[in-house]
Amino acid sequence: MLSAVCRCQCKMCSAPGSGHCGTGPSCGAPRRRRAAGRPDARGVGEALRLLKAGSGSHSPSVADVERAIPGLVEIDACFLSNPYATDEVMHRLGRVSSQTLERMVSHYPSQGAAIAEVLAPTVGVRPDRLLLANGASEAIQALLARAPGPLVIPLPTFSAYYEFATGPVVALQLRPQDDFRLDFDALDALVDRHPRATVVIINPNNPDGGPVDHGALVDFVRGAASRVHQVIVDESFGAFASEQRPRSLAPLVEELPHLVVVNSLSKSHGIPGLRLGYAVMSPQRARLLRARSLWNLNAFGEWFCGIMADPGYQRAYEQARRRYVREARHLFDGLAELPSVHVYPTAANFALLELDRPAHEVAAALLAHHGIYVRDCADKLGLQGDRYLRVAARRDAENRRILAAFADVLSEPVRRPLTVAA
């Protein structure tokens, strides 16, 4: 894989997992950035530690990092969205007339129920089952705010779920030796022991990217019907599972009113800045939750719901999705070939890496030397030890830089303090 960034084709550069020859300009050995005026890996590590301390259980945003260490981030491999889909959105946003833009900014957006009418055919559900949200996180918070029973949730997982829980949290620990695979028998036993629970399943799961078997999931949701308050299936990363059309549980909601399907559009459509997500649920639940918010979508979110209903955009998006899925697989295959890295099986647009050294040192070195920002998972509940990094796929050229940067940083001997070469 490393030879992908080389044109020298020498033996050293073409051997998988090896270093580079560095003998001339045709060698693709990644060049470390000059340290002039910039903090070294240790300084960057300390800045990241401080930022993290102020960001709770989420990674500091790129804007936060920019404010603390300006000009450092070149590739954001921390956040989890499809850049090719963003291109399609930006292309259309650029064509919005200044008159329309002014109308969008200067007027109140429509209420969620009205916007649901626009988006429902695209999602393939009835509008009264579709709750639009200011990002999936708003829907998650609303679903958990008044849930009567405990929250049953596999760990590790997306922290917002257990943070927004208002009652006790019952965790099902997923094990690295099982590739963090969900054990439905164990989950079912927890549902038996904890009546009226809210069960959360993220498919594919975050931060490991592991897929959940569709048939087993459907069986579990059906079987839990009379025993749970609700089963939330979060499909925010479902678009990245394969090039085939994503398989959603949303149509099942009509038959199973205790099922709620959550989806973030931030990841699949590359629009985290617009804050747009949705949840499919029974009309009764949707009515209750709608009554608790007002003008919760912004004008750009409303505009994008219109775009999603456009067949031209749908075709372009589908192409962007497939291309991204292909290239992401390529990145993860490349990472898996690196020595001193174990990559867990992933059906998402990111991979969980287990390293042979402290993850925060590798994260700091990637940022200091290569401008690459990755997610240090040290704070993730359910991931033991300081050896896990989550790496998101970006554009193909960026993926190559990510790969080369990892190869460079991991070529340092373990335990030697990482410093910038003078």
Q: CB of residue 216 vs its own copies: minimum separation in angstroms?
A: 30
Q: Which of 3, 27, 44, 81 binds its own copies (CB under 8 A)?
A: 81
Which listed range, 95-103, 198-206, 251-259, 337-345, lies at the site for its own copies (CB under 8 A)? 95-103
The contact mask relative to its own copies for 164-193 (x = CB under 8 A, - = no) is x-----------------------------
DSSP H helical segments within 194-254, as ranges? 214-224
Q: Is 218 in the site for its own copies (CB under 8 A)?
A: no
In the complex with its own copies, which residue's Cβ is closer, 26 or 100?
100
Alpha carbons 87 and 321: distance in angstroms, whole number: 11
Q: CB of residue 295 vs its own copies: minimum separation in angstroms?
A: 5
Which listed range, 86-94, 334-342, 353-361, 404-412, lies at the site for its own copies (CB under 8 A)? 86-94
The residue whose two tokens read 């040192």 is 361
- Between the alpha carbon of residue 279 and those of residues 122, 136, 148, 232, 412, the distances in Å are 14, 8, 19, 9, 46
The contact mask relative to its own copies for 262-301 (x = CB under 8 A, - = no) is ----x---xxxxxx---------------xxxxxxxxxxx
In the complex with its own copies, which residue's Cβ is closer, 106 or 244?
106
In the complex with its own copies, which residue's Cβ is closer, 180 or 278?
278
* Residues in Cβ contact with 18 at an 8 Å cutoff, skipping those fewer than 6 apart: 2, 12
Helices (H) and strands (E) in the chain, counts: 16, 13
DSSP 417: P
Q: Is 105 in the site for its own copies (CB under 8 A)?
A: yes
**Rounded-to-10 torsion of CA 77, 78, 83, 86:** -150
Q: CB of residue 52 vs its own copies: minimum separation in angstroms?
A: 12
SS3 128: helix
Q: Is 148 in the site for its own copies (CB under 8 A)?
A: no
Q: CB of residue 299 vs its own copies: minimum separation in angstroms?
A: 3
Count of Cβ atoms closer than 10 Å to residue 75 Cβ: 21
Q: Residues 378, 353: contact at Cβ < 8 Å?
A: no
Alpha carbons 125 and 109: distance in angstroms, whole number: 22
Query: β-pairing, 350-355 with 388-392?
Result: antiparallel
The residue whose two tokens read 């996180």 is 137
Within 125-144, which residues bind its own copies (CB under 8 A)?
Answer: 134-135, 137-138, 141
Within 296-355, which residues bind its own copies (CB under 8 A)?
Answer: 296-302
In the complex with its own copies, which residue's Cβ is closer, 106 or 226?
106
Q: CB of residue 140 vs its own copies: minimum separation in angstroms?
A: 8
Alpha carbons 386 and 381: distance in angstroms, whole number: 12
Within 43-62, which residues bind its own copies (CB under 8 A)?
Answer: 54-56, 58, 61-62
Which listed range, 106-114, 245-253, 328-336, 381-389, lies at the site for its own copies (CB under 8 A)? 106-114
Q: CB of residue 408 vs its own copies: minimum separation in angstroms?
A: 25
Residue 351: both structure tokens together: 């991979």
Q: Is 145 in the site for its own copies (CB under 8 A)?
A: yes
Residue 351 region by backbone torsions, left for phi larger than 0, else alpha for psi between -120 and 50, else beta: beta
Which listed range, 24-32, 111-119, 168-176, 187-195, lies at the site for its own copies (CB under 8 A)? 111-119
DSSP 204: S
Q: Which of 76, 235, 361, 376 binds its own copies (CB under 8 A)?
A: 76
Strand partners, 260: 232
DSSP H helical segments within 194-310, as ranges? 214-224, 265-268, 283-290, 299-308
With CB under 8 A, what is the number of residues at the site for its own copies?
Answer: 60
Alpha carbons 50 and 356: distance in angstroms, whole number: 24
Q: Which of 14, 43, 79, 342 binds its own copies (CB under 8 A)?
A: 79
Packing angle between helix 396-410 and helix 359-370, nearest 10 degrees? 120
Q: Is 245 in the site for its own copies (CB under 8 A)?
A: no
SS3 65: helix
Name the site residues for its own copies (rule: CB under 8 A).
54-56, 58, 61-64, 67, 76, 79, 81, 83, 86, 89-90, 93-94, 98, 101-111, 113-114, 134-135, 137-138, 141, 145, 160, 163-164, 266, 270-275, 291-302
